[in-house]
Structure 1
Amino acid sequence: MAHIRERSLQQPLPELYGHGLRLRPWDADDDTDVTDWLRGVSDPEFQRWNTPLRPITDLTSARNSLRSRAENAEDGVSASFCVTDAAGGTTLGHIGVNDIDHVIRVARVGYWTLPEARGRNVATRALTLAARWALTDLGLHRLELGHALGHDASCRIAEHCGFPAEGTLRGAMFEAGQRDAFRDVHLHGRLATDPEPEVKV
C-alpha cells in the first residue's frame, strides 16, 4: 500500500509575505480585527454572494466567529488569514484555506476584500500567496474554489491564479440571505502538479 503523507497545520499559523501583502492570522482578542471582520462580512457586496452558516451581526458574533476559526486552525482543518498591506499594516480583506483534508490532501479556498481595497488586485495577490503556501508548505495536492454562478469578478480572479473552470455544481450553496433556497456554484480547481501561473499583480 502506498504511503499516505499527512501534514498538520503549523501552530501558530505562519505569516506569508509577497506582492506587497502580508497575510497573518486573525486575532479574536484584537478589537480592530473584530471590527474589520464584521465590516467585511456585513458588506452588501459580500452578502450578495455569500451566506455564512452562522449569522454575524454584531461585535460579539464577529468575535465568536474569529475564535471558531482559530479553533479550526488548531484542529488542522482550516487556516484563516487577515490580508494586510505589507508596508502600513492596513487590513484589506480575508483569505481562507478551508475544509482541509490531510489524507486526500484537498482544501477549499475563499476570500473577500473590504470596499476601500477593491480595484487593487488584492484578492488576486492574496490568492497567489495562499495557494503557493497550501500547495507547497502545507503539502496539499488539490485546491478548489467555488463561487456563486454569475460572480464574474471571482471567476476572473480564479482564472488569473491558475484555477481553471471545471464545471457547475447544482444547488451547492445558499441563496443570498437565505438558508432554505439554493443556487448553483461555478467550480474551479488547481493541482500542485499544474504549472505555476504567470500572475500579473
Structure 2
Amino acid sequence: MSRTDERPSGPSRRSSVEPQGHGLRLGAWDAESDADVEAWFRGRADPDFRRWNTPMTLDESLEGARESLRQRAESAAEGKTVAFRVTDAESGVTLGQVGLSGIDPYMRRAVVGYWVLPEARGRRIATRALDLAARWAFADLGIHRLELDHVVGHAASCRVAELCGFAYEGTLRGAAFDEGRHDAFRDAHLHARLATDPAPQGI
C-alpha cells in the first residue's frame, strides 16, 4: 500500500465541544466580533509578544487583525490549523490564545503555540491553556506527537513547556525569524510531548 493510500488511525473529525479545565475554556475566535478582534490585535501588538515572535503577517490595524482571524477560520475549516481563544471559564473574559499548526494527520503530529494578554500574565494562564490544548489534541485529534519551539533565551516559555511535560529535545538552528524581521533568523529550542508520555501533575 502506498503512503497516499493509507489513512491515519486518529479520528477524522474534530469535536465541537469546547475544551474546558483548569478554570479555563478554549473556544473559537470570531472574526466578526469587535471584542475578539481587539483582543487579538492587542495580544499580537504587545511588545513582549513581538520580542519573541515574528509572524509571517504583522497585524498593524484592527482590520488587519480581523483579516488574520478570517484566514485562520479558513485554515481551520481545511484541517490545517486550530486557533483557540483562551477565556476564563466563569467570566468569559479573553486571556490569550493557544493553537495548533502544521497538523499532519498521517504522522499524527502538530505544532503548538500560545500567547497571553499582558493583563493576564503571572497567573499561569499559558501553562494551564497549553496543558488543556495538549490533552484535547491527543484525545480529540488523535495527535501522537505535539511539538513546541521557542526562541533561545525565552526562559518563561521554556518553563511553561517543561511544566506541561514537553521534554527539551535540542536546538533548531536558524528556525525562527529574528525580532521584527523576515530576512534574518535566530535559533530555537525544540520541546515535544507524546500522547504516551505521563501526564504532568500539579497544573
Matches of 1:33 and 1:4, distance apart in 2: 34
Query: Per-residue deviation at 1:3?
Result: 6.3
Aligned to 1:88: 91
Matches of 2:143 and 2:98, distance apart in 1: 17
Q: Do the aligned residues in 1 keep the contact of 2:7 with 2:106 (CA within 8 Å)?
A: no
Matches of 1:29 and 1:9, distance apart in 2: 25
Q: Do the aligned residues in 2 keep the contact of 1:8 with 1:76 (CA within 8 Å)?
A: no
Q: Aligned match of 1:72 in 66, 70, 75?
A: 75
Please list the CA deviations of residues 165-191 of structure 1 after superposition, one character each: whole Å capped at 9, or x if unmatched.
000000001001001110001000011
1:179 matched to 2:178: no
Superposed counterparts of 1:30-49, under 5 Å: 30-49=33-52
Q: Aligned AA for 1:36?
A: A
Matches of 2:29 and 2:46, distance apart in 1: 18
Q: Do the aligned residues in 1 keep the contact of 2:11 with 2:140 (CA within 8 Å)?
A: no
Matches of 2:8 and 2:44, distance apart in 1: 37
Matches of 1:92 and 1:8, distance apart in 2: 30
Please list the CA deviations of residues 34-78 of structure 1 after superposition, one character each: whole Å capped at 9, or x if unmatched.
000000000000000000101211011100100111011100011
In structure 1, the gaps of 5 or more residues are: none
Please list the CA deviations of residues 65-96 of structure 1 after superposition, one character each: whole Å capped at 9, or x if unmatched.
00111011100011100000011011000000
Q: Aligned match of 1:24 in 21, 27, 44?
A: 27
Q: Do the aligned residues in 2 keep the contact of 1:9 with 1:74 (CA within 8 Å)?
A: no
The list of structure 1 runs, each at least 4 consecutive aligned residues, that deviate by more than 3 angstroms after superposition, is 1-4, 6-9
CA RMSD of superposed structures (Å): 1.4
Matches of 2:43 and 2:7, distance apart in 1: 42
Q: Kindly, what percent of the aligned residue pairs are identical?
A: 59
Aligned to 2:12: 8
Aligned to 2:61: 58
Q: Aligned AA for 1:45?
A: D
Aligned to 2:136: 133
Which moved further from structure 2: 35-44 or 51-60?
A: 51-60
Q: TM-score, normalised by structure 2?
A: 0.94
Change (3 A) 1:93 1:4: closer
Change (3 A) 1:99 1:9: farther
Counting matched residue pairs gives 199
Matches of 1:37 and 1:15, distance apart in 2: 19
Q: Aligned match of 1:165 in 163, 168, 172?
A: 168
Query: Per-residue deviation at 1:16?
Result: 1.0
Q: Aligned AA for 2:136?
A: W
